[in-house]
């Protein structure tokens, strides 16, 4: 089988699923501008991947995590000219790493490459059935479906992270009140390394390129450091400081609506956009007008422009407009959850509630306190509490998930 073309959005995911389901053996080439990746399949399983991006190379990963020194890496690179072995095997033969480390990081390398390309918004692909030659390489055996599920989770989480870190051109510095007390915090190795790169000159993109970590890991680590009050925008403020703003609110509720409609669409047989539109039609008139041009499938920038215009037409200052937007989204979420309850098993409803609660945990950790932040958390928890009450009085087998555990005081 031969496939080639261009992809946008999640289409590349469909290609991986196809190759997995059909148990193909061959090579998939994927490119986006100057970035290129090659993924090798054997009977539907991913056995090897390589990338043109330096941070995804095995030596860079081992150096980043402290398993080898810069001198040892350079020594192994020089040895490549005299052998067909991979750099991993050279490092192993020289005694710089153990076999277990080599196997673990060979798999991690492949995983990071796959997560990277699944984040690409567009590009070109070409797949050809062929026998794969892996002489001198460390073979992995990865299930594409597990990688796709994890990548989907990361993509959803990334939309929350970028609501706080709005550009990869932002520059961060140690927060003034924490510079002397940073040693009191307990850091992971990743946090320590990222923190060491924050110097009031490097942009987020510079940190990604220099750290050898993927974009998701850097954004998530920066989010954690910002939430802890350890770092701040070099201008002395964190991103999105005008309240939470439409961008943050849209990001939060887009994720929540995706969680709800994914299950509702599967059980109702209706398309997600139709479910959203029907929900909008049942909202109070003012709220319906605010969300009339919001579409879950639209790009974030398109939705932001649409709801901003609708909120401005409603009048009032920016805070009042944001509160109206939150009320409108809460109303829509409540309606869709009410439609979901009669159609699905109770344990599936609790799964939805737990996923939404994880989103609210991100909102809770947002460092800037505001009326909007408090309203999102309190009102959505009221919606979820009401959903639990509806489930308890709806005929069917209820799965005890420990209701109160979902709503711990922060």
Domain boundaries, the chain: 2-151, 165-233, 245-403
Task: List Cα–Cα distances, 188 to 44, 148, 153, 194, in angstroms.
Answer: 36, 26, 22, 10
Task: Quick: pLDDT tens for 225-267.
Answer: 887 778 888 765 444 444 467 888 888 999 999 999 999 998 9
DSSP result, 293-335: T--TTS-HHHHHHHHHHHHHHH-S-HHHHHHHHHHHHHHHHHH
Q: Which of 187-191, 225-229, 324-328 has the highest mean pLDDT?
A: 324-328
- pLDDT of res. 127: 93
CATH of domain 165-233: 1.10.10
- What per-residue confidence (pLDDT) applies to 283? 93
pLDDT of residue 31: 93
What confidence score (pLDDT) does residue 213 get? 86
Least confident of 46-60, 198-212, 231-245: 231-245
Question: What are the pLDDT digits (tens) for 389-403?
Answer: 888 776 654 444 443
Q: What mean pLDDT is predicted for residues 54-78?
A: 85
d(CA 391, CA 398): 8
Q: For position 197, what pLDDT does the model report?
A: 93
Per residue in 114-151, pLDDT (tens digit) is 988 888 888 999 999 998 887 767 778 888 888 888 88
pLDDT of residue 14: 86
Residues 6+ apart with CB under 8 A from 265: 271, 272, 275
- What are the tens digits of pLDDT across the range 272-321? 889 999 999 999 999 999 999 999 888 777 888 899 899 989 888 888 89
Binned at pLDDT 50, 70 and 90, residue 184 comes out as low
Burial class (CB in 10 A: 0-12, 13-18, 19+), 373: buried
């Amino acid at each position: 089988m031969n496939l080639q073309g261009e992809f946008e959005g999640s289409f590349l995911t469909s290609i991986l699923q196809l190759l997995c389901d059909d148990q193909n053996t061959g090579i998939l080439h994927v490119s986006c501008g100057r970035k290129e990746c090659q993924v090798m399949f054997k009977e539907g399983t991913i056995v090897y991947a390589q990338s043109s991006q330096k941070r995804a190379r095995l030596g860079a990963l081992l150096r980043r995590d402290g398993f080898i020194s810069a001198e040892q890496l350079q020594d192994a690179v020089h040895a490549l000219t005299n052998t067909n072995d991979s750099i991993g095997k050279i490092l192993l033969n020289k005694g710089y790493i153990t076999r277990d480390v080599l196997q673990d990081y060979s798999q991690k390398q492949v995983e990071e490459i796959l997560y990277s390309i699944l984040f690409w918004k567009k590009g070109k692909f070409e797949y050809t059935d062929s026998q794969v030659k892996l002489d001198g390489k460390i073979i992995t055996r990865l299930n594409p479906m597990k990688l796709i599920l994890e990548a989907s989770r990361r993509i959803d989480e990334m939309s929350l992270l970028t609501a706080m870190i709005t550009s990869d051109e932002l520059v961060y510095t140690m927060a003034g009140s924490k510079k002397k007390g940073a040693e009191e915090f307990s850091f992971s190795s990743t946090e320590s390394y990222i923190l060491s790169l924050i110097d009031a000159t490097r942009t987020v993109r510079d940190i990604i390129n220099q750290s050898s970590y993927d974009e998701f890991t850097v954004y998530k680590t920066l989010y954690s450091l910002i939430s802890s009050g350890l770092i701040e925008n070099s201008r002395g403020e964190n991103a999105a400081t005008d309240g939470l703003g439409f961008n943050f609110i849209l990001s939060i509720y887009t994720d929540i609506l995706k969680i709800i409609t994914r299950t509702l669409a599967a059980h109702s047989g209706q398309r997600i956009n139709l479910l959203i539109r029907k929900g909008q039609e049942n909202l109070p008139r003012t709220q319906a007008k605010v969300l009339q041009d919001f579409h879950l499938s639209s790009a974030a920038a398109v939705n932001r422009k649409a709801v901003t215009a609708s909120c401005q037409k409603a009048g009032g200052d920016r805070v009042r407009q944001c509160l109206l937007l939150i009320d409108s989204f809460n109303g829509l979420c409540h309606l869709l959850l009410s439609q979901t309850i009669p159609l699905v098993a109770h344990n599936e409803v609790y799964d939805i509630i737990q996923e939404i609660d994880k989103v609210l945990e991100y909102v809770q950790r947002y460092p800037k306190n505001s009326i909007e932040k408090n309203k999102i958390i309190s009102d959505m928890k009221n919606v979820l509490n009401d959903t639990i009450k509806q489930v308890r009085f709806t005929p069917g087998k209820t799965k005890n998930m420990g209701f109160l555990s979902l709503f711990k005081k922060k």
